[in-house]
Amino acid sequence: MDDRGRFRGPLKGRSIARLSAIAGTLLLGAAVSFGVRSGRFAPALPYAQAARDHVAHVAGLGISSIVISGNQHVSREEVLAIAGITGTTSLLFLDAEQARDRLRRHAWIADAAILKLYPRELQIGLRERVPFALWQKEGRIFVIADDGTVLEPYVTPSLVQLPLVVGSGAQHRAKELIAALHAHPAIRDLVWASVLVGERRWNLRLKNGIEVRLAEGDVGPALDRVAKLAREKNLLTRDITIVDLRIADRVSVRLSERAVAARAEAQSEKPKKKGGNT
């Protein structure tokens, strides 16, 4: 069109066809949207969606490029399936908010962002939850995130070194306990499993067989006492089976059977030595 408002030349056939396709797409989309809102097209909705996506593809508004980032535990195929994106989905009629909500309902996905770049590119950015601990309940072991979300109902070899918590409710209280243990790496490295008793307090089962019974509430002060006794008295390397800290101002220990027998034998020998001297 020149400065007088006249066309300098006719539109080419391909341009006219594309404009017609786009106009048809918009008209079809408006009709389908009206039908869905009024309830008239509900039974035939899948066919209407397929029809409008087909028209959008003809108009050059399909999806030819999909870029997915941030996924480590969820595969590309899973992401597309969860979001409801197939080879016939069009960029124009893709409901990005709905696809995002579907992705966020997946256990591994903490958040998702979807960006439509016209005419044919789709970008999906994910923020996955991080495997935090293993949770054992009724003989089964699950991988959980730090908020207690179950990520997997099985454990892959790469995750077997995660801390193990056991018992009903332990998945929701693991974060607090593990944070406290990280403040005492010498104790943390000895812990084989942390057992939540009655959903109230923790027992720490150490790799050498000792059980440390913690009181309800803040476990920090109890761990401080254990760490001090471990440094000064070698408490966690002695021949004992239980360290009991359930009473705030007291530390009780239970000797192993071997230690009890040795103690009894040592006590029985004392009178003999005294009598011999007399």
Say how far apart CA 26 and CA 24 lie, in whole Å.
Answer: 5
Residues 6+ apart with CB under 8 A from 237: 208, 230
Q: What's the longest Cα–Cα distance across the chain? A: 135
Name the pTM for this structure: 0.73
Helical ranges in the chain per DSSP H: 13-38, 45-58, 76-83, 96-104, 170-182, 185-188, 220-233, 257-277
Residue-averaged pLDDT of the chain: 83
- Residue 7 — pLDDT band, cuts 50, 70, 90? very low
Structure tokens at 94: 């893709």
SS3 content of the chain, % helix, strand, coil (to 5): 40, 25, 35
Report residue 41's pLDDT band, with 50, 70 and 90 as the boundaries: very low
In whole angstroms, what separates CA 184 from the centre of its chain? Answer: 25
CA proximity to 192, closest of 225, 165, 223: 165
Residue 193 has what pLDDT? 98
Q: Average pLDDT in the 165-183 region? A: 96
| CA nearest neighbour of 73 among 123, 132, 114 | 132
**How does pLDDT run across 112-149, given as a tens digit for each residue?**
999 999 999 999 999 999 999 999 999 999 999 999 99
Q: Residue 132: how many CB atoms within 10 A of its CB?
A: 21
Note the pLDDT of residue 13: 45
Q: According to the model, what pLDDT value does residue 62 have? A: 80
56 pLDDT tier (thresholds 50, 70, 90): confident
- Pick from 9-13, 141-145, 220-224, 260-264 the range whose average pLDDT is largest: 141-145
More reliable by pLDDT, 176 or 15: 176
Q: Are strands 191-197 and 201-206 parallel, antiparallel or unpaired?
A: antiparallel
Q: Name, in order, each residue with C-beta under 8 angstroms of 57's C-beta and a sequence gap of 6 or more.
A: 88, 90
Burial category of 165 from C-beta neighbours within 10 Å (exposed 0-12, middle 13-18, buried 19 and up): buried
**What is the rounded CA–CA span in Å between residue 228 and residue 116?**
58
